[in-house]
Chains A and B, each alone.
Chain A
Amino acid sequence: MNATGIPLKEPEISAAAGDTGQLERAYIDASTRVPVLMFYTSAIGWLILGTLLAGFVSIKLQSPDLLGDISFLTWGRVRPAHMNVMVYGWASMAGMGTAIWLMARLCRTVLRFPLLLVAGAAFWNLGVLMGVCGILLGDSTGYQWLEFPRYSAIILFVAYALVASWAVLMFRYRRGEQIYITQWYLLGAFLWFPWLYAAGQLMLFVVPVQGVLQSAIGWWYSNNLLFLWFGAIALGTAYYMIPKVIGRPVYSYHLATIGFWTYALFSSWTGMQRLVDGPFPAWMITASIAATILAMIPVATVGLNHHMTMRGYFPLMRYSPTLRFTVFGAMSYTVFSVVGVLISLRSVARYVHFTEASIAYSHLGLYAFFTMVIFGSMYYIVPRLVEREWRYASLIKLHFWASAYGIGLMTLMLLAGGFLQGADMQNPTLPFSESIETVLPYLRGRSLAGLLMTAAHFIFAYHFGLMLLGLGRTSTVPTFLNPVEAETSGGH
């Protein structure tokens, strides 16, 4: 691979249209600066808070008496606070920031109505803050990922309505007939989320359904949030970033179409496999297991599409931070789905049900897949907003490796620990407490992985802070992970 193969800024533009195209994009990027940076800055603030909460949760599992007398620091409150900070504070805000930028770029129009977004971000922050305080003060609803009390949920919904109405307005102002693949996913995410959130809130709290169905709705909600909100944003982002950075069109639109519709159809039916052997009609669980397996079709098509797009360009991962994070995330999508199928099959699910393996699964989806793709997009977008390049390649590398090894180790620990825990639990000759004793060493390993990820997040936050303060490099060349010149023979 020759170093000239690395596109510097905007690869696909033709020589003739180059200047105007580049100018237009710079103009659009500048118009997104305030709202997107607002979403990103808040998201990174929540990421740091969520990381600290995670560390606290993880330590308390080992020494349960630590600060145990304080009601709002009890394990059962800090843990949902951690999850919700990560889901609504970090992941949703970072995802919306990236989605807003992509929308403006792909609609090829300057960002209009920025106040809608600024207000949306402010309300969203308020909603998350009130929700987290509510959980810590003992107002949690007890449903996974819907723990925020009602007053916070209403604020979140208002905030979301502002962002979504902006997205619809932007679509009206778009130029060009073609709707790119990324836009399918983003439009889907923006439309699915309110329906999902409203359905969850209404069917659980406003007009609650009876009995066990509440649990079914809870799992339906959290699985769909993972796939149709976070997953859709991450896939859309990957479809934009990979071709953009390597400067080639997507391998096949046809595959992308198949991938998108099968994704929408099948992944939305998953969730009930988490209730395996529970007090439900068997068809519900079976349908979700089948859907989990069928969801391998979009995995295969999306994975194939990305792979064929990348073919011959994999060495670029050595240089481009965006590409490295994005490809890691896109590959994790496959791993996440394969693990999802494995732990859903009835015979396996019986072993791993009620164990730490389910935590491995949600971290694979939310971190290895979604968060890594979003990190990649932030490395691409932020320099275009602040008109500076990332200051230290070494910090980006540290961030990547700490995150990658951290999530890898965490997944392994939780999966292995979960399987052993489940095996002990299924062994009637062992006392129940033995299964806990078995998993505790793995949880210590998990804490170690968490330390790596904590380091990664602090490094990233510091680097991002430098960029915000205008301390990035002023250069026309993006920050590469490794010096390009030294690697090639006849570079310029």
Chain B
Amino acid sequence: MKGLVPLFLGIFGTFAFSWVGLTVIPNWQIGHLNPESDEEGTDIYPRPQSGMFVRGEHVYAANGCVYCHSEQVRADYAANDIERGWGTRRSAPVDYIFERPVFLGKMRMGQDLANIGARAPAQQESPAPGGAASPAASPGPSTTSPAPATLPSTSPATASAASPASSPATSPAVSSSPNATPPLGQRTGVASPSPSQMVNATPGGSSPVAPAAQTPGAPWPIQTEGFPPMYSGAWHHVHLYSPRSINFDSNMPSYRFLYEKRRITGERSADALQLSGADAPPAGWEVVPTYDAKCLVAYLMGLNQSHPLKGIRSVGGAPAAAPSSATAAQGASPGPAAAASPSPAAAKK
């Protein structure tokens, strides 16, 4: 090749082409989206997030959660994300306009988190304002902040009492469980794990939790006695502190460094973790979340794409608090009653 000038021009030209094509034009096309609202301009989605949510985003980035968790629901023709109960509709660009950084994710060593906040039990779920066909699920006024800023401290008793109302998929299991208050050991709410599971899961007689007897409709129906209800803020804290106390097979790292073990002075803190078994602190001690842990949970609880969007089909009407309802609408899932039956568990191995 002769001459530097054509070489330089070519090198710049080809890259400029890519730069314009893949960053400038998309930025012009979807880089300046506005939140959607209804005709009256009241039901605005999405909304800017709380300060704790934003800080939690950075805790999420700092600890590399994004390397195992995605935050996007793919359309039903492309994947079964919706069928798994990870959302009621596919994710759209407008869902992310207030997030920075955006964690779409590249890997699923853990489940998708795009709607993890929407899957929280009803009493602390961020209300999905004006869900079109959601008779029961969104009583809250539309002005409620989507991110729960305070973390409720649910005691075990109220937790199990609240769960039948909030998550029908797991309620039969909870109510039918023979031991209402088991000793410190953890028992799954699954009525009767299959024998093969028992063999796998209890090698040493120390009471590990049987692996999740999961069903298609309800991805994680591991309702564990002695723990707060699934996906509540308190549940997230216990799960972050000790993932394997909730799901024995989990290979999620524990994030104990986000928690503080301290001597109880005066009364037990309201936000102390409800731990049991080997994780429980000795008497007179408690484990409390640091501010970073609270922000991380606030972030998780704020992840909610259940609000319907124009032009995007939502499956079912209800927010994804009850994932089985979403799949039941497709006729692909056993009903809520079957969700806790052992048959899918037997089919697992």
Contact = CB atoms under 8 A, between A and B. Distances in A.
Given A220-B22, A284-B22, A76 B63 contact: yes
Interface of A: 60-62, 64-65, 68-71, 74-77, 79-80, 138-144, 171, 177-179, 181, 184, 187-188, 191-192, 195-196, 199, 203-204, 208-217, 220, 224, 228, 257, 261, 264-265, 268-269, 271-272, 274-281, 284, 287-288, 350, 353-356, 358-359, 425-437, 440
Contacts of A204: 101
Interface string B236-250: 000000011001011
Contact of A432 (B74, B101, B214, B255): B214
B109 A216 contact: no
Contacts of A426: 79-80
Given A142-B66, A215-B102, A434-B348, A278 B107 contact: no
A60 B253 contact: yes
A138 B62 contact: yes
B70 A77 contact: no
Given A432-B214, A433-B214, A436-B251, 14 more contacts: A61-B251, A64-B254, A65-B244, A68-B253, A70-B257, A171-B4, A192-B11, A214-B101, A264-B10, A280-B93, A425-B108, A429-B216, A432-B84, A433-B212
Binding site secondary structure of chain B: loop
A279 B247 contact: no
A76 B258 CA distance: 14
Given A138-B63, A141-B61, A220-B23, A71 B257 contact: yes
A76 B253 contact: yes
Most buried by A among B15, B29, B32, B95: B15
Contact of B14 (A210, A268, A279, A427): A268
Contacts of B23: 199, 203, 209, 213, 216-217, 220
Interface string B84-102: 1000001111111111111
B152 interface: no
Nearest to B247: A433
B65 interface: yes
A317 to B, nearest CB: 29
Given A211-B102, A432-B84, A191 B26 contact: no
21 contacts: A68-B254, A80-B64, A139-B62, A142-B64, A178-B2, A179-B1, A181-B1, A191-B8, A192-B15, A208-B100, A210-B32, A212-B93, A268-B14, A269-B21, A274-B106, A279-B95, A355-B107, A427-B80, A431-B215, A431-B216, A440-B251
A264 B64 contact: no
Contacts of B26: 213, 216, 280-281, 284
Contacts of B84: 428, 432
B78 interface: yes
Contacts, number: 237
Contacts of B11: 187-188, 191-192, 264
A199 B27 CA distance: 13
B332 to A, nearest CB: 7
B342 interface: no
Interface in B1-37: 1-4, 7-8, 10-12, 14-15, 17-19, 21-23, 26-27, 29-33
Interface majority SS (helix, strand, loop, mixed), chain A: helix
A121 to B, nearest CB: 25
Contacts of B256: 68-69
Interface in B66-125: 66-68, 70, 72, 74-75, 78-80, 83-84, 90-109, 111
Point out which of A71, A204, A272, A427 has the most chain B C-beta atoms below 10 A from its C-beta: A71
Contacts of A429: 216, 347
A212 B100 contact: no
B22 A272 contact: yes
Given A76-B64, A280-B93, A432-B111, A142 B103 contact: yes
B111 to A, nearest CB: 5
B156 interface: no
B15 A264 contact: yes
Contacts of B99: 211
B328 interface: no
B53 interface: no
